[in-house]
Amino acid sequence: MKFQFSKLFFFSLLLSMAVLPSCVDTEFEEPPVTGTELEVTGNTSIADLKNLYIPGRLTVIETDVIVQGIVVGNDVQGNFFRSLIIQDSTAGIEVLINLTDAFNLFPLGREVAIDCKGLVLGEFNGIVQLGGYIIQEGGGEELGDIIDYNSRIYRGMLVGEPEPAVRTINSLGVNDISTLVQLQDVEFASFELGLTYADAFGRSTLNRTLQDCDGNEIVVRTSGFADFAIDTLPDGNGTLTAIFNVFGNTKQLFLRSADLDVDMTGTRCNAGTGEEELMTIRELRDVFADGGSEGPEDRKIRGVVISDNQSGNFDGRVAVVQDGTAGITIFFQGDHGFSLGEEIEVVVSGQELSLYNDLLQLDFINNDLATSNGMGDPVEPRVTTIGEVLDNAEAWESTLVLINGASISGSATFAGATTVNDGSGSMTMFTRNSATFASSALPAEPVDMTAIVSQFNDHQLVIRNLEDVGGETGTGGDPEQISLAELRTLFEGGATAVPANRFINAVVISDVDAGNTTGRNMVVQDETGGIVIRFADNHSFALGEEVEINVGGVELSEFEGLLQVNNVDNADAISMGNGTMPEPRDATIQEILDNSEAWESTLVRVMDVAYTEGGTFAGAKTLDDGTATIASFTRNQATFSGSNVPDGTFTLTAMVSDFNAPQLTLRNLNDIQQ
């Protein structure tokens, strides 16, 4: 909480000053706004302090160690929680402190000294941290905050922040961890533009991709509680100043304040000059055939998109483009939004030409290099035979062909590899499991088939949608029910989307009215299992309601370890009235931990369980039933977050959840029975 003084305070102060006798000296000494000199000075550098840490174990500092540094990171805008980042000329370190709104006492640029004797050094995924004590947690040890910070951390003058070290994405290394760095000539990836730094409504921490003009990338990680979480990412190029950290092998940047740390108003790199000369796709392919590995300077291509980014049979970053001379596959850095039939121009100057499993492509193209001219003239497929395709596959690669009287065999559905034969020869046709038509039945009779000539070590055909084989796009017969256990098995098998024409029927076990589940999320359970449904917008389905949801072609993905059917259109879910609530599974905490994946998003009931600490429900708490412990998390927005947890043991009904580790989630206070 930022310090504020009421109007009443100032009025009282002025009144008291007004009645002072005239003989009193009215020339007051103003308090020093820059602080006071440190009472102690450092005797150890931060680098030497970090070297005291013994890898793999929490290390108690047993000698008289005092470090001195400058605050370069704090919670001024909420992106750091109960931690300070201080650095000196040798290194930086994260200091865990049991204090919120610490920026009031420890603003950026304040010099501090820390008496470290008796404090503890630990490590979190590659980051050495300074904490106050050792917590015994779940049979292991964890690093606790510094509680006695008033007597441990000495506050000195406001000397100003050190100049950030100018680095490149590739040059950031171990010595830069927990220090202030600056990257120049960088920009957020084009596929991130229009998004916010984090999910301020769901309070979710998110990663955004920052890149330089060579395509090197690094994560910018922002808490959903940060003041700037809701701000839209800048769409220009410039500098970014941040605290550098790691998470294992992943490099990460943490902003202190978007206003303070981000200056990106310049022209984005890789956007082209606008003066590029048009070349044909055949000329571009000839460059590679003649030994070239990148597009010629000051050149662009123009063609019509012949792939379908809506059907799921192409990676979202792939567009196949054809002009009157040839075709080529383009692999963008991020998902593109170009539709089938759209005419686009792509700057190819200096862009990589390479083979991917023998398929020629423009590789890792910045999305900014492609612009749309609107819908183009339809591309007429070349009427041919499979025999002719095989004879001309290199020249016809990434173009449309039409094969009359083609029989498709080898499987019951389109998914995976099948064989196409027209009497002149046979070729493989491949369909991704994530295609909306993957589970549709193959046509029983020969069809006139339109396809893209492609290659994956061997030549193959790829259709865009069911219209290419005389069917209807996105259809495949009557919708078929799929169980929640089958959905989970699909994801475990590598599927990233639900097959087409599938629906689920289940009962809502989350309570949207109690607020402990974000408004877009709904947890449902049937007799086989459970899963999280994440809608495009807030929903109003109540606890105990039976729902039927069309999930065909919808994304299957994990969020922090929790499997969900993601971005479901709200209109695809309908209520079937009150359902029969699933009976919770009686289990111990140890059994829940042992079966957390299988039981995820289902109800369990735990007997004789207790909270290990008091206070309110809000935030993370620990539950213990004598067999093991598990986290229970309550959102601040929950209607019961401010209520006190019960004393003693009780019977708990909860949903099995996951946030990088198994946890239990209450629906409402009726889940606790004493």
Looking up residue 57, the CATH number of its domain turns out to be 2.40.50
Q: What angle do CA 143, 148, 152 make, to 5 degrees?
A: 100
- Strand-pairing partners, residue 263, are 239
- Closest CA relative to residue 664, chosen from 626, 625, 622: 622
Q: Are 51 and 154 in a shared domain? A: yes
Q: Tell me if 83 is assigned to some domain.
A: yes
Q: Which pLDDT does position 268 carry in this prediction?
A: 84
Q: Which of 118, 139, 158 is the last residue of a domain?
A: 158
Residue 61 CA, distance from chain mean position = 37
What are the angstrom distances between the C-alpha of 556 and each of 52, 487, 541, 572, 594?
45, 8, 21, 16, 24
Q: Which pLDDT does position 472 carry in this prediction?
A: 53
Q: Which pLDDT does position 159 carry in this prediction?
A: 94
Q: How far is it, in rounded angstroms, from Cα 304 to Cα 466?
A: 20
Q: How far is it, in rounded angstroms, from Cα 158 to Cα 5?
A: 22
Q: Are 57 and 149 in a shared domain? A: yes
> What does the pLDDT average to over 72-92?
96
Q: Tell me if 5 is assigned to some domain.
A: no
Q: Per-residue pLDDT for 6 more than 50? A: no
Round the average pLDDT of the chain to a whole number and report it. Answer: 90
Q: Are 566 and 590 in a shared domain? A: no
Q: How many CB atoms lie within 10 A of CB 374?
A: 8
* Structural contact between residues 382 and 396, judged by C-beta atoms closer than 8 angstroms: yes
- Helix, strand or coil for residue 316? coil
Q: How far is it, in rounded angstroms, from Cα 47 to Cα 143?
A: 20
Q: Are 87 and 127 in a shared domain? A: yes
Q: How does pLDDT run across 498-546, given as a tens digit for each residue?
A: 876 789 999 999 999 999 999 999 999 999 999 999 999 999 999 999 9
- Closest CA relative to residue 76, chosen from 279, 236, 223: 223
Q: Tell me if 460 is assigned to some domain.
A: yes
Q: Which of 511, 543, 578 is the last residue of a domain?
A: 578
Q: How many CB atoms lie within 10 A of CB 50?
A: 20
Q: How far is it, in rounded angstroms, from Cα 558 to Cα 321?
A: 32
Q: Which of 234, 266, 298 is the last residue of a domain?
A: 266
Q: Are 565 and 487 in a shared domain? A: yes
Q: Tell me if 124 is assigned to some domain.
A: yes
Q: How does pLDDT run across 194-226, given as a tens digit for each residue?
A: 899 998 888 889 999 999 988 789 999 999 999
What whole-number percentage of the chain has pLDDT above 90?
76
Q: Per-residue pLDDT for 30 more than 90? A: no
Q: Per-residue pLDDT for 15 more than 50? A: no
Show the tokens assigned to 157: 């003058």
Q: Are 185 and 217 in a shared domain? A: yes
Find the domain containing 318 and state its range.
277-375
Q: Which pLDDT does position 18 carry in this prediction?
A: 35
Q: Per-residue pLDDT for 153 more than 50? A: yes
Q: Are 555 and 593 in a shared domain? A: no
* Structural contact between residues 323 and 301, judged by C-beta atoms closer than 8 angstroms: yes
- Strand-pairing partners, residue 219, are 209, 252
Q: How does pLDDT run across 457-485, given as a tens digit for each residue?
A: 999 999 999 999 986 544 444 678 999 99
- 25 band by pLDDT with thresholds 50, 70 and 90: very low
Of 121-135, 240-254, 432-446, which gets the smallest average pLDDT? 432-446
* Structural contact between residues 401 and 453, judged by C-beta atoms closer than 8 angstroms: yes
Q: How far is it, in rounded angstroms, from Cα 423 to Cα 168?
A: 58
Q: Tell me if 9 is assigned to some domain.
A: no
- Closest CA relative to residue 92, chosen from 246, 259, 261: 246
Q: Are 153 and 170 in a shared domain? A: no
Q: Are 444 and 519 in a shared domain? A: no
| H or E element, residue 407 | strand 400-409
Q: How does pLDDT run across 597-624, given as a tens digit for each residue?
A: 999 999 999 999 999 999 999 999 999 9
Q: Tell me if 16 is assigned to some domain.
A: no
What are the angstrom distances between the C-alpha of 633 and each of 82, 514, 564, 666?
18, 14, 18, 8
Q: Are 288 and 262 in a shared domain? A: no
Q: How far is it, in rounded angstroms, from Cα 416 to Cα 390?
A: 21
Show the tokens assigned to 617: 């429900």
Q: How does pLDDT run across 253-278, given as a tens digit for each residue?
A: 999 999 999 999 998 886 666 789 99
Report the domain count for the chain: 6
Q: How many CB atoms lie within 10 A of CB 3?
A: 7
Provide the CATH number for the domain around residue 624. 2.40.50.200
What are the angstrom distances between the C-alpha of 214 and each of 140, 169, 189, 283?
44, 10, 12, 25
Q: Are 141 and 242 in a shared domain? A: no
Q: Are 61 and 125 in a shared domain? A: yes
Q: What angle do CA 384, 386, 388 make, to 5 degrees?
A: 60
Show the tokens assigned to 354: 């390479």
